[in-house]
């Protein structure tokens, strides 16, 4: 069985790591390169860097930041935010990113997934999906969760995989930043897809992460606040998950 992955997420705005609730009320929590190096040294399996204002402001992800990250960090990292073309993805790959994640641009132009997967391979593209529940239905949102769309979570995840996505990163906007746990039933349903599922949005303690990796059947747990504020050090988390019989790399 493949080891479950622990992935710190660094939301980037104006070159700094920030954190809020539901992507609002953001405050700075540190330098993205230094934080990434710290998490790598602590045993993180991968990192995700999201330029959370890129789509909203119409900017491209800063390539120079990716270059600086690649020079300091020796574990895989994924970069997202404002990636709207194969050229955008290629530029980040050349700068040192291991994978790119697309979200708003893919919803607007699903063929972008096909194009990136065709040129660079499915292993290079992660489709990030932000969704919230509306009348019992998971509605896909864009632009940092601010704009609802006509798309539904499960059908969009399935289409993304069919188009070539190598992984799905799902964030529940209902749970993001609340530290109240992940919607495990939703992740269990997503896990029926033939690609790894990364769980995001809601981690508040070790029990939440253990639950989404077991009952939620997620392949990886992504979190931000608990790592940024040193609430759960990565080595402590991994040792406890291992003690509970969850296969993680120590």
Q: What count of Cα atoms within 13 Å lies in the side-chain half-sphere of residue 151? A: 23
Residue 72: phi, psi to the nearest 5?
-105, -20
Closest CA to 200 of 188, 209, 189: 209
Catalytic site residue from 45, 51, 130, 176: 130
Note if 130 is an active site residue.
yes
Q: Which residue out of 11, 88, 176, 219 is catalytically annotated? A: 11
Active site members: 11, 130
């Amino acid at each position: 069985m493949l080891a479950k992955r622990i992935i710190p997420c660094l939301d980037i705005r104006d070159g700094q790591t920030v954190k809020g609730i539901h992507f609002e009320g953001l405050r700075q929590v540190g330098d993205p390169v230094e934080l990434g190096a710290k998490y790598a040294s602590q045993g993180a399996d991968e990192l995700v860097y999201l330029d959370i204002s890129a789509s909203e402001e119409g900017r491209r992800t800063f390539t120079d930041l990716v270059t600086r990250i690649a020079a300091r960090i020796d574990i895989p990292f994924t970069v997202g935010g404002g990636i709207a073309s194969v050229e955008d993805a290629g530029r980040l790959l050349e700068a040192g990113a291991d994978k790119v994640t697309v979200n708003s641009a893919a919803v607007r132009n699903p063929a972008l997934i096909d194009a990136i997967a065709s040129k660079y391979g499915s292993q290079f593209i992660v489709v990030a999906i932000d969704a919230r529940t509306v009348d019992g239905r998971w509605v896909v949102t864009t632009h940092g969760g601010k704009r609802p769309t006509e798309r539904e979570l499960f059908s969009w995840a399935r289409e993304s995989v069919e188009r070539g996505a190598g992984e799905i990163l799902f964030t529940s906007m209902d749970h993001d930043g609340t530290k109240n746990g992940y919607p495990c039933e939703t992740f269990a349903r997503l896990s029926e897809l033939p690609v790894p599922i990364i769980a995001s949005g809601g981690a508040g303690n070790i029990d939440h992460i253990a639950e989404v990796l077991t009952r939620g059947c997620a392949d990886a747990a992504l979190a931000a606040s608990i790592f940024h504020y040193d609430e759960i050090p990565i080595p402590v988390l991994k040792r406890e998950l291992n003690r509970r019989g969850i296969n993680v790399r120590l």
